[in-house]
Amino acid sequence: MDGGVAGGGKGGGAGMRPLRILTWHTHGSYLYYLTQVPHTFYVVSRPGRPSGYGGRHGHFPWGDNVIDLPAEQVRDTELDCILYQDDHQYLEDRLTLLNDAQRKLPAIYLEHDPPRAHPTDTRHLVDDPTLLLVHVTPFNELMWDNNRTPTCVIEHGVTETPGVHYRGGKERGLVVVNHLGRRGRRLGADLFERVRKVVPLDLVGMGAEGPAGLGEVTHAQLPAFMADYRFYFHPVRYTSMGLSAIEAMLAGVPVVGLATTELATVIENGRSGYVDTRLDALVCGMRHLLRDHGLARRLGQGARARARARFGIGRFVADWQAALARVTGAPMPHGFVRQAPIAGPHLSQRSTPC
């Protein structure tokens, strides 16, 4: 289904002991998938679990390799690698939470987003030839000025929920975005409002309120919930490849979205959904799917096949193993084979080997 990776599980695999990695709870879904990599993850927490310091918390089925680490205990913890995920962690926590020896450990900065200040001329805050800057999409790596920092791309990896099959009986589209109202045009709040005047849409996610808002759906429940809808709508103008879009694809749901950022290379018109920069063309595609359940089912099958090929958890784990081996000098676990980049009609050597 995703190709798998031999030697998986919660141990480090023969030839490589599990690394002790310090990181933060920046994006819950991503952290859950990241911790499928067979190492020990110490996740920083603070009292009250404010944003970025949730630790091992939330509705995710965390494995035994995920350890909640109070911030005041970080400097007394034996670690092998630091995995930063946002500016505050690198600029402040690196100096205040880590001791001198920990600041000299191998480090990775995981950049989740494309540049905000200017799409092509924004310099990344990290400028360090000894650190590895990991981008989550080829588009993001292309757009950032990465300074002297070595980079690689590790595209998302998503686990497939057993027993979830597309039904599509609910003749509506579904949008999954957290706090859409306050995040505005970049996430497509205005487009959601325009489209829902002519096409029935529901919205789920944190802060999903108002007439079309249904509130939050837990990560474990989301795939089956999405599978009831005729299509998934991704109204986002400018962000990384959305994990919820990939989760919808794996549930067999056709995706309709803007042909911007990485989504333009993922969805194939008439095969896995519809992408365009013309909103009226997207509305036309939605109406086709609402009228023709069979068409929606066929496109959903194409979406699932595409997601399995490009965003399998096995490839994701192997890519992270390679990145960690690169920065720490540890050998790749015995039996782990880094999979070849996927090729396709919109895709030529998309994955950048670490």
Q: Looking at the predicted structure, is the pLDDT value of residue 13 above 60?
A: no
Region 284-293: what's the mean pLDDT?
A: 98
- pLDDT tens profile 53-98: 999 998 899 999 999 999 999 999 999 999 999 999 999 999 999 9
Q: In the structure encoding, which two tokens stand for residue 244, read together?
A: 């919820």
| Residues 345 and 268 sit within 8 Å (Cβ to Cβ) | yes
Model confidence at 210, pLDDT cuts 50, 70, 90, reads confident
The 3 state secondary structure assigned to the chain is: CCCCCCCCCCCCCCCCCCCEEEECECCHHHHHHHCCCCCEEEEEECCCCCCECECCCCCCCCCCCEEEEEHHHHHHCCCCEEEECCHHHHHHHHHHCCCHHHHCCCEEEEECCCCCCCCCCCECCCCCCCCEEEECCHHHHHHCECCCCCEEECCCCECCCCCCCCCCCEEEEEEECCCHHHHHHHHCHHHHHHHCCCCCEEEECCCCCCCCECCCCCCCCHHHHHCCEEEEEECCCCCCCCHHHHHHHHCCCCEEEECCCCHHHHCCECCCEEEECCHHHHHHHHHHHHHCHHHHHHHHHHHHHHHHHHCEHHHHHHHHHHHHHHHHCCCCCCCCCCCCCCCECCECCCCCCC
Please give the single-letter amino acid code of residue 86.
D
Rounded to whole angstroms, the Cα distance separating 289 from 274 reads 10
**The pLDDT value given to residue 113:** 97
Q: Is 22 exposed, middle or buried (0-12, 13-18, 19+ CB in 10 A)?
A: buried
| Residues 189 and 169 sit within 8 Å (Cβ to Cβ) | no
CATH for 170-310, options being 3.10.310.70, 3.30.1380.20, 3.40.50.2000, 3.40.50.450: 3.40.50.2000
Rounded to whole angstroms, the Cα distance separating 230 from 307 reads 18
**The pLDDT value given to residue 6:** 30
Q: In the structure encoding, which two tokens stand for residue 273, read together?
A: 């959904």
Please, which residues have CB within 8 angstroms of residue 142's CB and are 6 or more apart in sequence?
Answer: none
Please give the single-letter amino acid code of residue 97.
L
- pLDDT tens profile 315-325: 999 999 999 99
The residue written with tokens 């039904």 in the block is: 167
| Residues 60 and 43 sit within 8 Å (Cβ to Cβ) | no
- pLDDT tens profile 245-271: 999 999 999 999 999 999 999 999 999
Rounded to whole angstroms, the Cα distance separating 250 from 67 reads 29
The residues of the chain that CATH labels 3.40.50.2000 are 170-310
**The pLDDT value given to residue 3:** 37
- pLDDT tens profile 215-255: 999 999 999 999 999 999 999 999 999 999 999 999 999 99
Considering only CA atoms, which of 300, 320, 311 is closest in space to residue 342?
311
Rounded to whole angstroms, the Cα distance separating 311 from 154 reads 10
**The pLDDT value given to residue 349:** 36
Q: Minimum mean pLDDT among 7-21, 239-253, 276-290: which range?
A: 7-21
**The pLDDT value given to residue 354:** 61
- pLDDT tens profile 330-344: 887 655 555 433 333
Q: Which CATH class is domain 20-157+312-328?
A: alpha beta
- pLDDT tens profile 145-198: 999 999 999 999 999 999 999 999 999 999 999 999 888 999 999 999 999 999
- Supply the mean pLDDT for the chain: 90
**The pLDDT value given to residue 207:** 84
Q: In the structure encoding, which two tokens stand for residue 342, read together?
A: 């996927």
Model confidence at 308, pLDDT cuts 50, 70, 90, reads very high
Whole-number Cα distances in Å, 78 to 34, 106, 290, 301: 20, 13, 55, 46
